[in-house]
């Protein structure tokens, strides 16, 4: 009898416990559902996409400015090795700066054609040491003001929110406005031709702001034309066979 009574009392107590557990579980589930309903719009909200319609433009323009480091790549004549006129001729990198404009034409979603006319103020330094008639060291700088006319293909990555990576490859035509090829000054130590052509390649990043694109870019440029103007009355000219320009440019582009 006692056992039956205990069993009878324990059964409602067990059901009551289960009901309380179910109620607590239901409340927790309801709370989680409400929390998700409130939180999902916040998670689903995308970050602000600056200049969202920019990729639809067929063309756009910009400005560019930057710093360059330039030098000469030199090959020597047999007379340099066989005579004692010069002990060494060594080129050195020198800093300069660039200013220009940008014109960008969309070809496909991932390829643009770009024209970047600019002025490049470049300085190439030469160290040379005379061997005869006496040892002496000379340090000279060749100043150039290039009308820089590059045409480039720009290969773009997918846009990641407000960021994009790109690479460029192309060719250039340079005209040195301060070339001394026709100079008759008595103090000239080396003469260079005004016209050069060459190739370029580089990489850059685009950061989209509300009203403009900020693009840092690193580019390497190599001239193909021999810049040495043959004037055999200059001793240094007789020691050098070819003279090619090299330039590294770090630029900031502001595009719209």
**pLDDT mean over 81-99:** 89
Instruction: Give the number of residues written for the chain.
Output: 256
Return the closest-CA partner of residue 63 out of 91, 108, 104.
104
Q: Average pLDDT of the chain? A: 84
Residue 71 has phi, psi (to 5 degrees) of -155, 180
Question: Within this chain, do residues 16 and 68 fall inside the same structural domain, yes or no?
Answer: no
Q: Out of 128-137, 188-197, 241-250, which region has the weakest mean confidence (pLDDT)?
A: 128-137
> Residue 22: what pLDDT?
46
CATH classification of the domain holding 75 = 2.40.160.20
Exposed, middle or buried by CB within 10 Å (0-12, 13-18, 19+), for 159? middle
pLDDT: which is higher, 221 or 84: 221
Range of the domain at 18: 1-45
Question: Within this chain, do residues 16 and 72 fall inside the same structural domain, yes or no?
Answer: no
Question: Within this chain, do residues 36 and 70 fall inside the same structural domain, yes or no?
Answer: no
Question: Within this chain, do residues 109 and 26 fall inside the same structural domain, yes or no?
Answer: no
**pLDDT mean over 149-160:** 96
Question: Within this chain, do residues 18 and 63 fall inside the same structural domain, yes or no?
Answer: no
Give, as one character, the DSSP assignment of residue 33.
Answer: H
> Residue 18: what pLDDT?
46
pLDDT tens track for 220-243: 999 999 999 988 788 888 899 999
> Residue 4: what pLDDT?
46
- Asked if residue 9 has pLDDT above 50, the reply is no
Question: Within this chain, do residues 180 and 150 fall inside the same structural domain, yes or no?
Answer: yes
Residue 50 in contact with residue 84, Cβ under 8 Å? no
Confidence of residue 12 (pLDDT cuts 50, 70, 90): very low
Question: Within this chain, do residues 68 and 38 fall inside the same structural domain, yes or no?
Answer: no
Question: How many domains, in total, are found in the chain?
Answer: 2
> Residue 155: what pLDDT?
98
> Residue 27: what pLDDT?
58
Question: Within this chain, do residues 62 and 36 fall inside the same structural domain, yes or no?
Answer: no
Give, as one character, the DSSP assignment of residue 34.
Answer: H
Q: Helix (H, G, I), strand (E, B), or coil: what is residue 14? A: helix
Residue 227 in contact with residue 246, Cβ under 8 Å? no
pTM to 2 decimal places: 0.77
Question: Within this chain, do residues 1 and 117 fall inside the same structural domain, yes or no?
Answer: no
Question: Within this chain, do residues 40 and 88 fall inside the same structural domain, yes or no?
Answer: no
Question: Within this chain, do residues 211 and 156 fall inside the same structural domain, yes or no?
Answer: yes
Residue 188 has phi, psi (to 5 degrees) of -70, 135
> Residue 136: what pLDDT?
79
Question: Within this chain, do residues 10 and 117 fall inside the same structural domain, yes or no?
Answer: no
């Amino acid at each position: 009898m006692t056992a039956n009574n205990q069993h009878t009392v324990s059964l409602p107590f067990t059901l009551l416990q289960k009901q309380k557990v179910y109620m607590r579980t239901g409340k927790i589930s309801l709370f989680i559902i409400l929390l998700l309903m409130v939180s999902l719009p916040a998670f689903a909200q995308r970050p602000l996409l600056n200049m969202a319609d920019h990729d639809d433009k067929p063309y756009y323009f910009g400005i560019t400015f930057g710093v360059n480091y330039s030098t000469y790549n030199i090959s020597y004549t047999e007379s340099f090795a066989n005579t004692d006129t010069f002990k060494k001729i060594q080129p050195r990198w020198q800093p300069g700066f660039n200013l220009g404009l940008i014109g960008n034409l969309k070809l496909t979603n991932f390829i643009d054609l770009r024209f970047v006319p600019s002025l490049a103020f470049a300085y190439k330094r030469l160290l040379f040491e005379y061997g005869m008639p006496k040892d002496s060291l000379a340090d000279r700088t060749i100043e150039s003001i290039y009308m820089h006319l590059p045409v480039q293909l720009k290969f773009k990555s997918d846009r990641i929110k407000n960021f994009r990576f790109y690479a460029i490859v192309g060719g250039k035509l340079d005209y040195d406005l301060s070339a001394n090829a026709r100079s008759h000054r008595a103090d000239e130590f080396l003469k260079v031709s005004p016209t050069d052509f060459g190739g370029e390649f580089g990489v850059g990043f685009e950061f989209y702001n509300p009203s403009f694109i900020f693009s840092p870019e690193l580019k390497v440029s190599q001239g193909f034309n021999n810049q040495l103007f043959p004037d055999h009355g200059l001793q240094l000219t007789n020691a050098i066979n070819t003279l090619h320009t090299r330039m590294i440019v770090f630029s900031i582009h502001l595009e719209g």
